[in-house]
Amino acid sequence: MGQSTDNAEWDMRADVVVVGYGAAGAATAITAHDLGARVLILEKAPEGQEGGNTRVAAQGYLNTSSPEKAAAYLTALCGPFTVPETMVQVWADEMGKNNEWVESIGGDPQEHQHPPAGIEYPELPGSDSVHKFHHGDVLGYAHTWNLFDWAVKERDIQILYESPGVELIQDGDSKEILGVRAEREGAPINVEATRAVVLTCGGFENNQEMIRNYLPGVPYCYTSGTPYNEGDGIRMAMTVGADLWHMNNYAGPSMALKVPEFRTTFSMLPLHFDRELPGGMIVVGPDATRFTDEKLKTAHGKVELNGQWDPLRTPCPMYLIFDHTLFSAGPLYDKESRSGWNRIVDQYDWSEDNLAELEKGWITKAEDIPSLARSLELDPANLNDSVTRWNDLCESGEDPDFGRSLMLSPIETGPFYAVELSPSMLNTQGGPRRNERGQIVRPDDSPIPRLYSSGELGSIYSYLYQGTGNIGECLAFGRISGRNAAAEPPRD
């Protein structure tokens, strides 16, 4: 149970307290503010690192053109992992208003130009009703986020940085949410919400215990997004009685480099399905054998097998094994990406010749394959067999083992190299279950009074995911929760 009213002494007050400042927090705050509410945002990150996954995303958001078709598409995406029809309908109705809203705050919606239009499952019913947009002429580089940030700061909305919400303050009798206990400069503060609290503090991408407990098939997983989303909203909502949903669904995994010096993952160019590089490479698991088409284009981490979509298998630890031709062909990291925390916020400058990263130990080097295996504590005979088998397949021009058709080049020019790969994700979808009014509900469907949510913290996506659906949903449910939170009668 959250802290009760009896001992809460308030340090600050607003009508609506929003916990987390990404797209969901921004849309909620703007909506509630424009309806006349005094809004305060609590943000965990220091100023300059706010914005969450939204800031470092590819910057697309979904807009739908027909509520009926959009509902059919989302229903098909959920497949056997059904979501109540009322939720699907409210999503479909509200997602069609995203462009109008972006324009209303001063934005310039542009449809993604690059073909194909990025509709992930064109074969599903209603797929022609979804469209990917972003703000402004340029896709990426935080542009859409910058618009949201500008629109919030243009308004009289208070933002407290480095002030994580820690606990919800709940009335012991009525169970109403009265406010939030937060931390500011290390000291606790109690922030009263006279109308409602809206949790918009993202998923559990950086909480390894939740990852082990909830995500299928990964003993650990890292993110290419914000390092500040640690499942705090899930813990806070559970403590006051919330039900959870979609905890096993996430946008991942891919395979990426994670090093202790940096909090988030590096995307490795040789694994990109749309890049052909010179030289040979494979990925092996802990038994030093291959387990996948290394150049596979997954659907946000999911792969179809036997008519069902499951997350890509990622037997850990995994190693990218490659030759000197690939090592010397240019940076192994995708330095040109328009998204990702290490690109947009930390701005790590990977060396052009990979030598700095070799020096740091991020890349392992050996004169021959058995020595490389020994350095990695892999079975030398198995790794040698895997490389020999790969080289034979390249000569035959086919990969009957895993169906790879790109970069069919042998690993032949020494010295040889390895990069340890970890499962990496964009974001998690699970969290407290919400209803069509944006209220967080208990297992019996009853809303927890004066508690709302929006964004990826308890997102609607239960199974398959349509790219740009997350930010689209942040805007749609941000407006819904912002409206309803602002409309709560003020407590005396």
CB of 255 to ligand FAD, least distance (A): 15
The residue (of 325 and 429) whose beta carbon lies closer to ligand FAD is: 429
CB of 58 to ligand FAD, least distance (A): 3
Is residue 282 within 8 Å of residue 390, measured between CB atoms? yes
Give the x-and-dash track for 466-485 against ligand FAD (CB under 6 A).
--xxxxx-x-----------
- Does residue 16 touch ligand FAD according to CB under 6 A? no
- Does residue 96 touch ligand FAD according to CB under 6 A? no
Q: Total binding residues for ligand FAD by CB under 6 A?
A: 46
The residue (of 22 and 279) whose beta carbon lies closer to ligand FAD is: 22
Torsion, CA 225, CA 229, CA 234, CA 237, rounded to 10 = -130
CB of 378 to ligand FAD, least distance (A): 30
Which residue, 418, 2, 9, is CA-closest to 171?
A: 2
The residue (of 90 and 426) whose beta carbon lies closer to ligand FAD is: 426
Distance CA 31, CA 39 (A): 10
Q: Checking DSSP bridges between strand 439-441 and strand 447-453, what pairing results, if any?
A: antiparallel
Distance CA 223, CA 348 (A): 16
Residue of the chain from 3, 12, 14, 50 that contacts ligand FAD (CB under 6 A)? 50
Distance CA 487, CA 492 (A): 15
Q: Is the bond preceding 188 in cis, omega lying within 30 degrees of 0?
A: no
Which residues in 306-345 contact ligand FAD (CB under 6 A)?
339-340
The residue (of 90 and 166) whose beta carbon lies closer to ligand FAD is: 166
- Does residue 464 touch ligand FAD according to CB under 6 A? no
Residue 265, CA distances (Å) to 4, 125, 226, 318 in order: 40, 35, 10, 14
Residue of the chain from 3, 31, 53, 254 that contacts ligand FAD (CB under 6 A)? 53
- Does residue 57 touch ligand FAD according to CB under 6 A? yes
Beta bridge partners of 158: 40
Residue of the chain from 14, 16, 17, 24 that contacts ligand FAD (CB under 6 A)? 24
Residue of the chain from 29, 32, 56, 376 that contacts ligand FAD (CB under 6 A)? 56
Distance CA 51, CA 146 (A): 9
φ, ψ at 227 (rounded to 5°) = -80, 0
Distance CA 443, CA 104 (A): 37
**Where does residue 290 fall: left (phi above 0), alpha (psi -120 to 50 degrees), or beta otherwise?**
beta
CB of 165 to ligand FAD, least distance (A): 4
Is residue 265 within 8 Å of residue 301, measured between CB atoms? no
Exposed / middle / buried, residue 280 (Cβ in 10 Å: 0-12, 13-18, 19+): buried
The residue (of 194 and 265) whose beta carbon lies closer to ligand FAD is: 265
> CB under 6 A: which stretch of 101-109, 241-249, 432-440, 452-460 binds ligand FAD?
452-460
Distance CA 210, CA 265 (A): 18
Give the x-and-dash track for 186-215 against ligand FAD (CB under 6 A).
--------------xxx-------------
- Does residue 52 touch ligand FAD according to CB under 6 A? yes
- Does residue 148 touch ligand FAD according to CB under 6 A? no
Distance CA 435, CA 245 (A): 11
The DSSP element (H or E) to which 83 belongs, if any, is: none
Which residues in 211-240 contact ligand FAD (CB under 6 A)?
224-226, 228-229, 232
Residue of the chain from 45, 119, 393, 480 that contacts ligand FAD (CB under 6 A)? 45
Binding site for ligand FAD (CB under 6 A): 19-25, 42-45, 50-54, 56-61, 164-165, 200-202, 224-226, 228-229, 232, 339-340, 426-427, 455-457, 468-472, 474
